[in-house]
Copies of this chain bind each other. A is one copy, B any other.
């Protein structure tokens, strides 16, 4: 085709292309709306380990005077507005972690088991969507005994949700929550948590292993004392080769509030001063060492970095990498 004829051809194309009018819209689209979100699953590598973040769903919490104990409601609402979040209710996500070390398939925390929130309880189905079988989990590591971390250990009809898994719990959590004296002295608002811990752990107590702080509980996974949120609350370092992720557990609730304002005390922190100290220590470590972090109540996929910003911090979500 010569230059001249090519030009003529494209001139003709341009002329005809401008002609067709937009078609009349059909009465209904050929495809119905899906009406639901896709499964909340996301993968990344830590050295040789394959980590899968799995979202169990969200709970909804009214934003009221009691939510942040030492900040005004106006300041809390302003922080939510800055983060483009609703200011009346806060959706608090629950994201668990599967760490496949090549030798073990380890689940860190177990979600709500569908027993705490109508919009949560999707851990096992989302694992399936990720090609992960609940029977292939051979270790479950619990960070602390709050219901949204332990209820998913058992099915609604009282069976083990991860039947082949060794269950590991912090010894200080066991000592506190399973103690009858503590249970009897608990304030009214905490009695439900004591009951939940008993409901979940009593039937499988003989199979449970307890672990302390700063222990390599599974090769590559080390417990880190992060007390205050609960008496024995644990964070974790998951490391393979030179790579690592700091699993914050509940060191911070929603980052728009408690990463941004590390001095704010969420109502769920049992010993707020100790929790704040743990939070600042882990945030300083994450920021100084530029560590990847994973936060249980961070927006899915709940992973990224902590940047120091004066006396505050920013959570910088990780780049979604389509090619791990």
Contacts and interface: CB of A to CB of B under 8 A. Distances in A.
A197 to B, nearest CB: 10
Interface of A: 3, 6-7, 9-11, 13-14, 16-18, 20-23, 25-43, 50, 52, 55, 57-58, 82-85, 91, 93, 100-105, 119, 122, 129-133, 135-136, 138, 164, 166, 168, 171, 174-175, 178-180, 184, 198, 201-202, 205-211, 217-219, 290, 299-301, 304-305, 307, 316-324
Contact of A171 (B3, B18, B22, B133): B18
A202 B122 CA distance: 48
Given A7-B180, A29-B105, A37 B321 contact: yes
- Chain multiplicity (copies): 2
Nearest to A103: B25
B320 A93 contact: yes
Given A84-B290, A166-B22, A136 B31 contact: yes
A119 B85 contact: no
Contacts of A133: 30-31
Contact of A180 (B10, B28, B164, B300): B10
7 contacts: A7-B180, A10-B202, A28-B103, A30-B136, A38-B39, A40-B322, A84-B319
